[in-house]
Chains A and B, each alone.
Chain A
Amino acid sequence: MVLIYIDQDNQEIKKASLEAISYGSALAKQLGTSAEGLVLGTVHDDLTTLGKYGASKVHQINNASLNHFDARTNSNVIAEAAKKLGATVLIFAHNINGKAVAPAVSVKLNAGIVTGACQLPNTDTGFVVTKTVFSGKAFASIQIETPIKVISINQNSFGEVVGDGVAVIENLAIDVPTSTLKITSVNKIEGEIPLTEASLVVSGGRGLKGPENWGILLDLAKALGASTACSRPVSDSDWRPHHEHVGQTGIQIAPNLYIAIGISGAIQHLAGVNRSKTIVVINKDPEAPFFKAADYGVIGDAFDVVPALTASILKAKHGA
């Protein structure tokens, strides 16, 4: 059985987990077995709807103390659940919490693990999982040698596959150890889509000259419904908050559309965004290296091009 860890935040199921279920259910089909979900804690979502993504059952450990994430407690509980249910493959989203628990679970199950997988395993001979390495600059195909396997999948690498199944919910009784981690506060940036979950991203670099010029970028993002990102020097200079920094030493993202404005395209920047499906580069220097990695390029001054692009998007939206 393929068991998929369903991550929650504040009692809501995370988007990354829906993709993990889709991936786990495709793998279960490939292996001729079932795909089942595992929820820790109590959630507001209707768990039967997870059937749409291919989970035939959802096992729920209905213990509110699990609503707060603790890597040590959660990994203990997930490993116990996997043993009790007889899971042979465990799937996690390679998001913040998935990264924190999947390797610990693999240790407890004596399972080999591949983190950051980007496609379904090849199970023709053995069990070979392909993952991104060198910050997206290459792939490695890795054989897992153990009977139980653990995989975490890169966000936006497989996609959500929606059908019309309905999952059966089952309560799972597992002893939950008392957490010794005390969460003292949570600060959410209101009304913003987390960068790793955004399908559209507008990003700015040093070419925008200063924080006072970000208005044109924010207007474009608003017109598109996109999240905003930036290059490292921009966040280092505090023009933009640190959580917007993408690249090799920042966040790695793979949106459907990445629009880079006034960013030169240094190799360390590309490492964070090269898995984007479509890349648009707006730069006044025709020699900017970013054009080599782009699908669409506009050679021009951002201060003219960006407002014009925003106007065209609004025009197209309102059908004028």
Chain B
Amino acid sequence: MLLIPCPWCGPREEHEFRYGGEAVPAPAADNDDRELARRLFVRSAPAGPMRERWYHVHGCRRWFPLVRDTTTHELTAPPEARP
């Protein structure tokens, strides 16, 4: 189980959280089919550090960013993840 550093509550067990994945800009009204498909369905999945969002659903109920290495599951809080 991951021990996730919530910027407001401190380290808490993973099952208190919901995974939000990568944050991407919303599709624009004038996107063509190819661009729309990319925005809707394609997320980056790098082998290494990945910036993603988590939601502390059974805690403070706030969203926050986290950097997690997808090959080791090592977690680092990005500087802006501060209360």
| Mutual binders A and B | no
Give the interface of B toward A (CB within 8 A).
none
Give the interface of A toward B (CB within 8 A).
none
